[in-house]
Structure 1
Amino acid sequence: MGKQVGIIPFTGRVGPLIGYRVGNRYLLRSVPAQVRQTPAMRRSAQDFGKASRLGASLRHALCPQLEARHDNTLVNRLNRSLVNILRQDDLHREKRFIPRYFKDLKGFSLTPYARLWDLMQVTPTVTRENGIQVHVPAMREPSRYKIATHVRMRAIALFTDGRQSFSYASEPMLLNAHTPSQPFTLTIPDEAPGVCCVILEMLPLQQEHGVYYNRLAHRKHVAAEVIAVLVKSGSGDDDKRESMHAGQRPDAIPGNGMQQRSTGPSRDGLLPPAIKRERFHPPPLE
């Protein structure tokens, strides 16, 4: 890809050239003369579109709650993870998000320059009783950042059903940065079924005249990571019922209370939910 070195960089198409921005750089490429799409390319584009829509929904729900700064690679990293989850569906012709495969998001770091384990040196656990409980063991030194005086930790629950996403945050826990801490628990309300990604955020602070300032934005000492993925489903063995119809029309989603357009088989080859599907058992060999 060519680099733009002019005084006035541009984005978008100008004649046979397309300008675009990646980070702080402005690049340039030419418009292809002809695009030949194979069926595999079209399926891949559809999968990427579904992952992009769900990724945008997750980010828009999470970013207002998140105080740790994320970099410009979050969009691509999250979309790549969602595409891998989508492609694990081997039941439908048109891929769908199956809730149990979202467990692959465990360990996904929103801050790629610092991992939570490297800063905490302990492993938090998550339980789902009377809400979502995040149990953090005792830490010998919550932060090794020399100029930090305190550390603020919060737990965030990110819920999604494939069509809309929303998030809840726990009350923050304030710790002395260089004093051993006691075990504590962060509680988040458990408000919805579906997929819930539990995120633990660790942020260094500096105290001056009794006020805590969040201006120590050193990327190697700020962490936010998915520590658990919880799934609420009515039937964990029925992929047809637990699939998440991301990016589909509301009238095409089974069981949404709206009238179906057709009583015949759907596009993915499955029969309507009102028709019982029986398995075919071959006759025994003689």
Structure 2
Amino acid sequence: MAKQLSIITFTGRLGNLIGYRRNGTHCLRSMPAIVRQTAATRKAAQRFGMASKRGALIRNAFSGKLDVTCDGGHINRLTSALIPSAGNDTSSITNFRFNRYTGTDSLLPLTPRLSRNGVLHIPPQTLPAHKGISMLEIKVVASRIHFATGQVVATESAVLFAKTGEPFKGAACDVDIPGTGTLIVVLQVRGLQDHIPSGNRKYFAADIIAVQPPQPLHPTPHKRIYPKRLRLNLPSENTAVAAAPQLLRPRIQRE
């Protein structure tokens, strides 16, 4: 491995040289004169290619909806989770963290559960108090991805707020996006102080909490299926709503 010390650095192929970046340093290596591939290495390359393609689809589906800054290695980590099954077993990415430094369980102790009818239940719980954090922004992002055709069918999101250090009476969110493909649900939690996001990355988390494989679709003939918005149902006496009445109506973004 040689380091690039010139003023102008590059990545990619240049003649018989390949430039790349490793741990923030630009490096250089030469291309091999002869590449010998066995059946095993060809299969490994195919698995990597499929996993990389599906990982890119997942990232593109959520990139415009997430407000959490991903760590620098999230692309490789996501691809690595998909490689063993060549991307066919997407359930392997359940609990994947877009920010590896913080998981949603550190801010929201009880994990939400996705029911078979497509409703995500956030259980009642007492939210832990954090220094410099008065409120949590809880965002649910759901995406339907058709991996066979390489298309993102639809991506929807919904947001609610809850005060820290106080009982939270739970919520339910309908995430069953119509269409054919795999349903992937991401939970994003951010710590806020006076409605301003904290600058500390340990209060930013975004995890894939549920992956639902494609379900048989039997639409009525000549009936068009329209995408729907995610809806959050809150208890009538939720302390989070009482603390911030102007935020009673969840903000819903739609692509």
Structure 1 pair 105–231 and aligned structure 2 pair: CA distance change class (3 A): same
DSSP 3-state at the match of 1:134: strand
Out of 155, 164, 181, the position equivalent to 2:151 is 164
Q: Deviations over 1:59-116 (max 9, x none)?
A: 11111011111112111111112222228xxxxxxxxx3xxx3222221122111122
Separation (CA, whole Å) in 2 of partners of 1:233 and 1:176: 37
Contact 1:149 1:177 in 2 (8 A): yes
Q: Which has the higher strand share?
A: 2
Offset at residue 16 of structure 1 (A): 4.1
Q: Residue in 2 aligned with 1:137?
A: 123
Which protein shows a greater Rg? Answer: 1
Structure 1 pair 234–141 and aligned structure 2 pair: CA distance change class (3 A): closer
Offset at residue 169 of structure 1 (A): 3.0
DSSP 3-state at the match of 1:120: coil
Deviates more, 1:11-20 or 1:104-113: 11-20
Separation (CA, whole Å) in 1 of partners of 2:59 and 2:170: 30
Q: Deviations over 1:29-63 (max 9, x none)?
A: 22222211122222221221122122111211111
Contact 1:156 1:167 in 2 (8 A): no
Q: Residue in 2 aligned with 1:225?
A: 207
Q: Deviations over 1:206-265 (max 9, x none)?
A: 22xxxx323x24222211112121123339xxxxxxxxxxxxxxxxxxxxxxxxxxxxxx
Matched residue type, 1:114: T
The yes-or-no answer on 1:192 pairing with 2:175 is no
DSSP 3-state at the match of 1:110: coil
Measured on the aligned residues, the alpha-carbon RMSD in Å equals 2.3
DSSP 3-state at the match of 1:75: helix
Q: Residue in 1 aligned with 2:13?
A: 13
TM-score (norm 2): 0.75
Offset at residue 191 of structure 1 (A): 1.5
Q: Residue in 2 aligned with 1:86?
A: 86
Offset at residue 171 of structure 1 (A): 2.0
Separation (CA, whole Å) in 2 of partners of 1:143 and 1:169: 29
Matched residue type, 2:126: R
Separation (CA, whole Å) in 2 of partners of 1:61 and 1:202: 18
The yes-or-no answer on 1:206 pairing with 2:193 is yes
- What is the correspondence of 1:94-109 to structure 2 with a 5 Å cutoff? 97=88, 101-109=89-97
DSSP 3-state at the match of 2:53: helix
- What is the correspondence of 1:107-186 to structure 2 with a 5 Å cutoff? 107-129=95-117, 132-142=118-128, 144=130, 146-162=131-147, 163-186=150-173
Structure 1 pair 7–198 and aligned structure 2 pair: CA distance change class (3 A): same
Offset at residue 5 of structure 1 (A): 3.3
The unaligned stretches of length 5 or more in structure 2 are 218-255
Separation (CA, whole Å) in 2 of partners of 1:192 and 1:117: 30
Q: Deviations over 1:174-207 (max 9, x none)?
A: 1113333221223334222321111111111222
Matched residue type, 2:182: V
Contact 1:116 1:223 in 2 (8 A): yes
Which structure 1 residue ranges, 4+ long, deviate > 4 Å from structure 2?
none
Separation (CA, whole Å) in 2 of partners of 1:167 and 1:79: 22
Name the % identity. Answer: 32
- What is the correspondence of 1:262-281 to structure 2 with a 5 Å cutoff? none
DSSP 3-state at the match of 1:135: strand
Matched residue type, 2:173: L
Contact 2:133 2:192 in 1 (8 A): yes
Matched residue type, 1:194: G
